[in-house]
Copies of this chain bind each other. A is one copy, B any other.
Amino acid sequence: MQPLPDVQALRSAHDYRLTRVGVTGIRKPVQVKRAQGSRTLVALLDAFVDLPGQQRGIHMSRNVEAINEAIDHAVQQPVRGIEDLAAGIATDLLKRHDYATIAEVAVEADFFLERTQPSGQKSLEPYSLVASAKAQRGQGVRRSIGALVTGINACPCAMETARKLLEERGIHREGPNITHNQRNRVLLMLETGEAHGVDAEDIIGVAEEGLSAPTYEILKRGDEARLVIRAHERPRFVEDVVREVLSGVVAKWPTLPDDTLVMVRSEAEESIHKHNAFAERVTTLGELRAPAR
């Protein structure tokens, strides 16, 4: 049998180079190392390389092979985190595509942590992890790790205006007052030049602490009331949530380098509106540490 034709290796009709070529939406189970042994996460992966102008196409099956080998290897040797999985795949992609100068990999996965209520009730809470890696030939790998955390925020503005209006009706209120509160999704991502040992659980912890309160799958009546009181004692705008998380990042990772990229986002599914409220800061750790920040 003669070899099959290699259409991808042909010269392209228009010799524009391409920024990213690859595969999206690959779903795979991944073994991740945890304190109490390995755990299976279901990951959704994208993997890309760049392509010079002269070559018609990439061999996309190599991207899937790089993913599969990394995942097979993780069965024997669970990865420390999905950002390390991404970094391993990105490095391997540059070996498989010798014409490429950059490889990028993105990973998302559901993640669970056990949380304990004041009453002692335990529950396994769901989070989303997001990670990526970008390998440049001859320049190492930048990697990011982040988490999307769902909690509650209570509005400080409506609390004060409602206090005022109730006062006018002769109802005097001190302490935590009624306001609108809602589901709030916080995204915190850190991107570093090398592996710096940022732990996904710490990311979740810092993000969750920025909210008016964390939320739980199970709340018996006493715990539910305590959570409501706590959220109303810490009323926060989306702007406040982002700033609290920024402050937490500066305190939590004093040894991370100044060029660490930081992205914090809070989106509130406003209970009094049909649209969302949103705040975001994209910056570096160096800027956050400076006096004018």
Contacts and interface: CB of A to CB of B under 8 A. Distances in A.
Interface of A: 1-2, 4-8, 12-29, 39-40, 42, 46, 48, 51, 53, 56-58, 60-61, 64-65, 68, 110, 112, 123-126, 150, 152, 156-158, 160-162, 164-166, 168, 171, 174-183, 215-222, 224-229, 231-232, 237-240, 242-244, 246-247, 267, 269-283, 288, 292-293
A23 B1 CA distance: 44
B246 A16 contact: yes
Contacts of A12: 239-240, 243
Given A46-B278, A270-B183, A279-B20, A8 B157 contact: yes
Given A56-B237, A160-B5, A246-B16, A278 B165 contact: no
A121 to B, nearest CB: 9
15 contacts: A6-B221, A13-B240, A13-B244, A14-B243, A19-B283, A20-B278, A23-B275, A39-B40, A60-B277, A152-B180, A161-B221, A165-B222, A178-B232, A182-B183, A183-B183
Contacts of A224: 157-158, 161, 180, 272
Copies in the complex: 4
Contact of A7 (B2, B157, B171): B157
A28 to B, nearest CB: 7
A81 to B, nearest CB: 17
A181 B239 contact: no
Q: Can you list the 10 inter-chain pairs with the closest CB atoms, starting with the nearest?
A: A161-B225, A40-B40, A14-B243, A27-B126, A7-B157, A162-B225, A5-B160, A25-B275, A21-B279, A24-B276
A103 B280 CA distance: 13
A57 B16 contact: no
A124 B68 contact: yes
Nearest to A153: B271
Contacts of A126: 27-28, 274
B225 A4 contact: yes
Contact of A247 (B16, B29, B160): B16
A228 B19 contact: no
A181 B272 CA distance: 9
Contacts of A218: 61, 64-65, 68
A237 B7 CA distance: 10
Nearest to A233: B178
